[in-house]
Chains A and B, each alone.
Chain A
Amino acid sequence: MILPFFIIIPLLTAFIITLIAGERDNWAVILSILAVVSLLILSVYCFVSLNGRTLVYEMGRWQAPIGIILAVDALSAFMLMIVSIIALTAIMFSVQYIRNLSPSWKYYALFMLLTGGMNGVIATGDLFNLFVFVEITLFAAYGLVAYGNRAEEFEASFKYAIMGSISSTLVLVGIGIIYSATSTLTMALIAERLPQNPTVMYWSGGLFVAAFGLKAAIMPFHAWLPDAHSSAPAPISAMLSGVLIKALGVYVLIRLFFNVFGEMPVFSEVFLVLGTVSMVIGVFLALGQWDVKRLLAYHSISQIGYIIIGVGLGTTLGLLGAVFHLLNHAIFKALLFLNAGSLEMALGTRDLRQMGKVSKALPVTSFTSMVASLSISGIPPFNGFFSKLIIFIAAIQVGRPVVAFLAGLGSLLTLASFMKVQRYGFHGEKTVTADQAKVGWGMRAAMIVLAILCLATSALVIPGVREVTLDPVVEVIMNKTGYITRVLGR
């Protein structure tokens, strides 16, 4: 059974790093790279070998209603793969970045804890176990946001931790209500027993929308995100914006509201409204920013809006768009944050007004950021265009022309805002002195890999490729009874 290794490998690596690490971070780097590479191999193998099955692992051989189970289906394997890809590129980027910032094995231990927590959230089939892994992930995230040891970082981390503790309270109340109604915490069994009790579904559903919406930074709950994501070290911003808000927020919302609760029209409407609001307002707030990382953080809110719109539409096409955009956003937003990190390292500033003709000094950073900007703005050959187009068509198909219009408008404003980044940040008139030695081969390789993926993932829309990659994921989401029977092995 390979399932427990998704949790064992990162957690064990974190503990071994704390045990054997000395003054230098060499061992920590080697161990964490080994761990992340093996996670990537495992998750790709898992996704390829699934074939529509669900892998179930019973912890300690206790059967489902009593013990805790891990259940990995196509959706989980897909998410595990995204986490591993972004974690690998972030670690590649970190090696030199963290040596320039303040080298320590603590960074790598926390990083592995973050990865392990996210893998746990994705792989588990038990509601309370999910809560515990969410807390592990957030705990590592608070520490990593405050890693730079400056006043702003502590402020951002404190804000994040207070918001996180509010959302944890809401999750716990929701779990308590569900347990009191169904006497079980296994998600598949809850899915079977809950529909007899619609009131409970509305109460706990509302709590979960607020709680996991807070973690996904959907609009009314977004206040912590720009601070936390712009204060963290660049590879951690890439992890937080690239995968954490999706693994803890969007993935859990999809799993709960499609596989456990079943589709409920009220919540679909709520998702549609919240998604549209965060998409439009997020991009407007991003337009006025001059701090490049803060600008990217506001774009994360806006792009999460697109995914939530796809989820709220609730059709096969809408969910296909949502899942596809989830993958694409992870790739290009991670790339953009890594670009911002290498800019900050080489120029010593994050303010777009103080940048200028960077394209000469940092050719790789400049080129890859161009690719990522085109992807996020939805320019044709890149992946962002296709996923946005699918969401757009899905919105028109179900008779929501207003949502479709706003999605188009949001895309235009995104383009405008990234024109500003390119114009001021990379192709300005001012000549700047950039310290090229600070952007080493590891950082450049990470950016190039992500830039290639930006173009390569466009291939997922080709029907033959889509049938083996995205379609099984959407099938899992749409098929509630299939989820119950496959997890419980009936």
Chain B
Amino acid sequence: MIVYLLCFAILLVGIYGLLVKRDLVRLIIASGITGYATNLMLVLFGYKRGAIYPILEKGKAVSERVMVDPLPQALVLTSIVIELGITAMLVALAIRLFEKNKTFDITKIKRLSG
């Protein structure tokens, strides 16, 4: 139970950062942290205490020991790749925004409003 709470705490840190921070780079890092928390949560859902890695070996019986659920790990792998792409996109946009506005402060970048 305590692990889930800690995982939730990481998620809250990320969401706090997204809501409060005013710096482009910090926003990108905060969005990364929310992603890590989600991935950790997915892995935790598939975890069983004392279970082994989910690989079938030749000559060993399947039911010898319990295995962890492999599917969440596959999901996490996909989600990490997607996050990598999104982070690269955000960084590229942040660089272009800095070139145009000469600042990383989002309170000073507001051409769009109303």
Contact = CB atoms under 8 A, between A and B. Distances in A.
Q: Do A and B bind each other?
A: yes
A157 interface: yes
A295 to B, nearest CB: 11
A294 interface: yes
A158 interface: yes
A176 interface: yes
A155 interface: yes
Given A139-B89, A172-B42, A176-B72, A158 B114 contact: no
B112 A155 contact: yes
Most chain A beta-carbon neighbours within 10 Å: one of B37, B85, B86: B86
Interface residues of B, number: 35
A157 B14 CA distance: 20
A135 B82 contact: yes
Nearest to A290: B114
A159 B89 CA distance: 12
A227 B111 CA distance: 10
Contacts of B110: 155
Contacts of A146: 93, 96
A441 B43 CA distance: 55
Contact of A162 (B27, B38, B42, B78): B27
Contacts of B42: 172, 176, 179
Contacts of B18: 162, 166
Contact of B94 (A135, A158, A168): A158
Interface size class of A (residues with CB under 8 A): 35 or more
A161 interface: yes
Contacts of A150: 100
A151 B89 CA distance: 16
Given A169-B35, A173-B38, A173-B41, A151 B82 contact: no
Contacts of B114: 288-289, 294
Contacts of A231: 112
B51 interface: no
A109 to B, nearest CB: 15
A128 interface: yes
Nearest to A149: B96
Nearest to A152: B111
Contacts, number: 92
Contacts of A161: 86, 89-90, 93
Interface in A104-140: 128, 132, 135, 139
A135 B86 contact: yes
A135 B18 CA distance: 19
Contact of B45 (A142, A169, A179, A226): A179
A158 B90 contact: yes
Most chain B beta-carbon neighbours within 10 Å: one of A128, A157, A172, A294: A172
A227 B113 CA distance: 8
Interface in B69-114: 71-72, 75, 78-79, 82, 85-86, 89-90, 93-94, 96-97, 100-101, 109-112, 114
Nearest to B15: A166
Most chain B beta-carbon neighbours within 10 Å: one of A154, A166, A230, A288: A154
Given A166-B31, A172-B38, A158 B112 contact: no
A69 to B, nearest CB: 16
A227 B35 CA distance: 25
A154 B104 CA distance: 13
Contacts of A165: 31, 34-35, 86, 90
A180 B72 CA distance: 9
B90 A128 contact: no
B86 A176 contact: no
A218 interface: no
A142 B111 contact: no
B111 A179 contact: no
A155 B75 contact: no
Nearest to B75: A128
Given A172-B38, A172-B42, A180-B45, A132 B82 contact: yes
Given A158-B24, A162-B27, A172 B86 contact: no
Contacts of B45: 176, 179-180
Nearest to B42: A176
B100 A162 contact: no
A174 to B, nearest CB: 10
24 contacts: A132-B78, A139-B85, A139-B89, A143-B89, A146-B96, A151-B97, A154-B97, A156-B112, A158-B24, A158-B97, A162-B27, A162-B31, A166-B31, A166-B34, A168-B82, A169-B37, A173-B38, A176-B45, A176-B72, A179-B45, A180-B45, A185-B71, A230-B112, A294-B114
Interface of A: 128, 132, 135, 139, 142-143, 146, 150-152, 154-159, 161-162, 164-166, 168-169, 172-173, 175-176, 179-180, 185, 226-227, 230-231, 288-289, 294
Given A161-B93, A172-B38, A230-B112, 17 more contacts: A132-B78, A132-B82, A139-B85, A146-B93, A146-B96, A154-B93, A154-B100, A155-B109, A155-B110, A158-B94, A162-B27, A162-B90, A168-B82, A173-B41, A176-B41, A179-B42, A179-B71
Among all A-B residue pairs, the 8 with the closest Cβ atoms:
A151-B100, A180-B45, A165-B31, A227-B112, A158-B93, A169-B34, A172-B38, A152-B111
